Chain A
Amino acid sequence: MYIIAERINGMFKDVKEAIRGRNAKVIQDLALRQQAAGAYALDVNVGPAVADAQSALLWLVETIRAVTDIPLAIDTAKWDVMKAVIPHVPGKKILNSTKADMDVATEYVGLAVEHGAALIGLTIDADGVPGNVEKRVELGAQLAAAAMDGGLALTDLFIDPIILPVNVSPKSPGHCLQAISQLRALSDPPPHLLLGLSNVSQRCSNRHLINRTYLAMCIAHGLDSAILDSLDTELVDSAITAELLNDKMIYCDSYLQAARPG
């Protein structure tokens, strides 16, 4: 499972304060701890911390790069910010994210190809988040088409079928499972299928339990990547075990240890 760790996000209080006070230690500590816990990449999101997202993102990138070469998922919804920041991210990077409208996706694909980056594409278009499976698959296929047209290998495309919180959108988890199955069959090798996992349990109790149960279900349907809290040991253990049960690795008594990178 290609885990993109979610904690470097200005929505969290410690990160928000660290960004405002330019406290590198807090960010670097989070980066290394998430990596050690099993992350393959780190999401980097300024959130609502400051007005100048661009310079804050650049500071975060520079701060993290001082301690690790792990791939960074540059997380901003603003095209101008993405375009300005990406050329200044050394090493491996992922653009997080584009929507599925063809004109928008084409621009993001171009930027990704230009800088040798991977790309996360959301199955959202101008009409918003789809309320069914079919539209999710249609928009996923549209993202794949944009990637192929623009010269981005499908193995560098992560399609996110968008999970909504189960308390307000009870059908969304089931829709995503089906969309994952169908989008896996899109090509060989298939694009990566990814979810922003924590969203499934927004404003719910038992969040950890909901997250790890749903993650295991998604893996059974072909999910191979997620943005999640890699510091949640039980969650990462569940992901590894679900992959084991889905024949993604050979069992051994220390399989939990064996499956973590590094």
Chain B
Amino acid sequence: MAIPDVVEKWAGKVNTVVIGAKADQGGTRTSTVAIGGATTLPFLTFEGSPGHRPAIAVEVWDSGASVWPEALQAAWGDVMNSPAAWAKKAAQAGADLICLRLVGAHPDLGDRSVEACVQTVKDVLAAVGLPLILWGCGAEEKDNKLLPALSAATKGENCLIAAATERNYRTVVAVCLADKHKLVAESPCDVNIAKQVNILCGDVGFPLEDVVMFPTTGALGYGMEYVYSIQERARFAALGGDKLLAQPFICDVGYEAWRAKEAKAPPFEGVTDENRPRWGVMWEAATAVDLLQAGADLLIMRHPDAIRAVRARIDALTA
């Protein structure tokens, strides 16, 4: 009896999004990163093109990183007080991009001025040649002032700017459109809203091919299964031809993994102060590798050892 052919034929394709611009493209970056482009499920090379290799962005905060767990403080050291130096060290650690989060702009976390934040971004741009992801502080009112300034200050650099949400998207969409940046569309762990945010961005004129989808991330043991199934459903729909879900995924791995109990809580069940750094790294790496199987195209990560481990896994899966 012949073995049945189980190869799936997909009608759709994940969009390819390029982040960063070199000198001949109007920017100052020394490298660019392309994500997406898959015509089949992750790593199923016998079925179609897996698209571009998943990329890793290293997370850098403008200020306030002293709240990060000790293992991360030990790994990065003093550079955590200087976003530019931190970004440089992240580049040496193998980052494909820098994800600069302007946490300190939040009214409750320092309320740094828009001008000071713009200067931080300029410092980071000058320090590294990698493409940038610029993430607001999460306070809507402040972000609606901050993001336009960041966008204007980085015009031509083809950054990825975060984030448009269902309730707050007009401002960030308008500035990304005007300054030709790529856009993160964020939804709260809900595939219906993920699709809706994409529609809303499209309705106000933003090209859906320039959107990266952020369906919210959950760490291993902390909502991973919801996130996994949402990404999986969206990716099935994309490959089935739904252009409103054909955007590549960005996953906020480091932030979620390092707030897991295993990474930072007091000692429990075999997790001790001595072995805690290993637990945190394992948690981050395992979360990342799981999400790769659910179609993650761009991972935001924190610990150099976890980054190395995930990079090795990506190499093995794409070899």
Check if A and B associate.
Answer: yes
| Residues of A bordering B, CB below 8 Å | 249-254, 257-258
Minimum distance in angstroms from B248 CB to a CB of chain A: 17
Minimum distance in angstroms from A256 CB to a CB of chain B: 11
B190-205 with Cβ < 8 A to chain A: 191-196, 199-200
A258 engages B192 (CB within 8 Å): no
Q: Which residue of chain A has its CB nearest to the CB of B197?
A: A252
Chain B residues whose C-beta falls within 8 Å of the C-beta of A253 in the assembled complex: 192, 196
A257 engages B192 (CB within 8 Å): no
Minimum distance in angstroms from A40 CB to a CB of chain B: 12
B245 an interface residue at 8 Å Cβ cutoff? Answer: yes
What 19 new A-B contacts, CB under 8 Å, besides A250-B192, A252-B196, A254-B200? A249-B237, A249-B242, A250-B191, A250-B195, A250-B234, A250-B237, A250-B242, A250-B245, A251-B192, A252-B192, A252-B193, A252-B195, A252-B244, A254-B196, A254-B199, A257-B199, A258-B195, A258-B199, A258-B244
Minimum distance in angstroms from A260 CB to a CB of chain B: 11
Minimum distance in angstroms from B9 CB to a CB of chain A: 8
Minimum distance in angstroms from B227 CB to a CB of chain A: 16
B52-66 with Cβ < 8 A to chain A: none
Chain B residues whose C-beta falls within 8 Å of the C-beta of A254 in the assembled complex: 196, 199-200
| Residues of B bordering A, CB below 8 Å | 191-196, 199-200, 233-234, 237, 242, 244-245
B233 engages A250 (CB within 8 Å): yes
CA distance A257 to B202 in the complex (A): 12
Chain A residues whose C-beta falls within 8 Å of the C-beta of B195 in the assembled complex: 250-252, 258
Minimum distance in angstroms from A47 CB to a CB of chain B: 34
Minimum distance in angstroms from A98 CB to a CB of chain B: 26
- The 8 listed contacts between A and B (C-beta, < 8 Å) are A250-B237, A250-B242, A252-B192, A252-B193, A253-B192, A254-B199, A254-B200, A258-B195
CA distance A257 to B195 in the complex (A): 12
CA distance A185 to B233 in the complex (A): 25
Q: Which 4 A-B pairs have the closest CB atoms?
A: A252-B195, A252-B196, A254-B199, A252-B192
Q: Which residue of chain B has its CB nearest to the CB of A189?
A: B9
Chain A residues whose C-beta falls within 8 Å of the C-beta of B244 in the assembled complex: 252, 258
CA distance A191 to B192 in the complex (A): 30
Minimum distance in angstroms from A48 CB to a CB of chain B: 39
CA distance A258 to B199 in the complex (A): 7
Q: Which residue of chain A has its CB nearest to the CB of B166?
A: A253
Give the residue among A251, A252, A258 with the most B Cβ atoms within 10 A. Answer: A252
CA distance A254 to B195 in the complex (A): 9
CA distance A250 to B194 in the complex (A): 10
CA distance A100 to B208 in the complex (A): 44
Chain A residues whose C-beta falls within 8 Å of the C-beta of B234 in the assembled complex: 250
Minimum distance in angstroms from A25 CB to a CB of chain B: 31
A252 engages B242 (CB within 8 Å): no
CA distance A237 to B257 in the complex (A): 43
Chain B residues whose C-beta falls within 8 Å of the C-beta of A257 in the assembled complex: 199
Chain B residues whose C-beta falls within 8 Å of the C-beta of A258 in the assembled complex: 195, 199, 244
Q: Which residue of chain A has its CB nearest to the CB of B234?
A: A250
Q: Which residue of chain A has its CB nearest to the CB of B199?
A: A254
Chain A residues whose C-beta falls within 8 Å of the C-beta of B196 in the assembled complex: 252-254
Q: Which residue of chain B has its CB nearest to the CB of A249?
A: B242
Give the residue among B195, B200, B233, B237 with the most A Cβ atoms within 10 A. Answer: B195
Minimum distance in angstroms from A249 CB to a CB of chain B: 7
Minimum distance in angstroms from B281 CB to a CB of chain A: 35
Chain A residues whose C-beta falls within 8 Å of the C-beta of B200 in the assembled complex: 254
CA distance A251 to B242 in the complex (A): 11
Chain A residues whose C-beta falls within 8 Å of the C-beta of B233 in the assembled complex: 250
CA distance A250 to B192 in the complex (A): 7
Chain A residues whose C-beta falls within 8 Å of the C-beta of B194 in the assembled complex: 252
CA distance A252 to B192 in the complex (A): 4
Minimum distance in angstroms from B242 CB to a CB of chain A: 7
CA distance A258 to B234 in the complex (A): 14
A252 engages B199 (CB within 8 Å): yes
CA distance A258 to B245 in the complex (A): 11
CA distance A252 to B199 in the complex (A): 9
CA distance A258 to B200 in the complex (A): 10
Minimum distance in angstroms from B91 CB to a CB of chain A: 38
CA distance A207 to B278 in the complex (A): 70
Chain B residues whose C-beta falls within 8 Å of the C-beta of A249 in the assembled complex: 237, 242
Minimum distance in angstroms from B284 CB to a CB of chain A: 30
CA distance A33 to B92 in the complex (A): 57
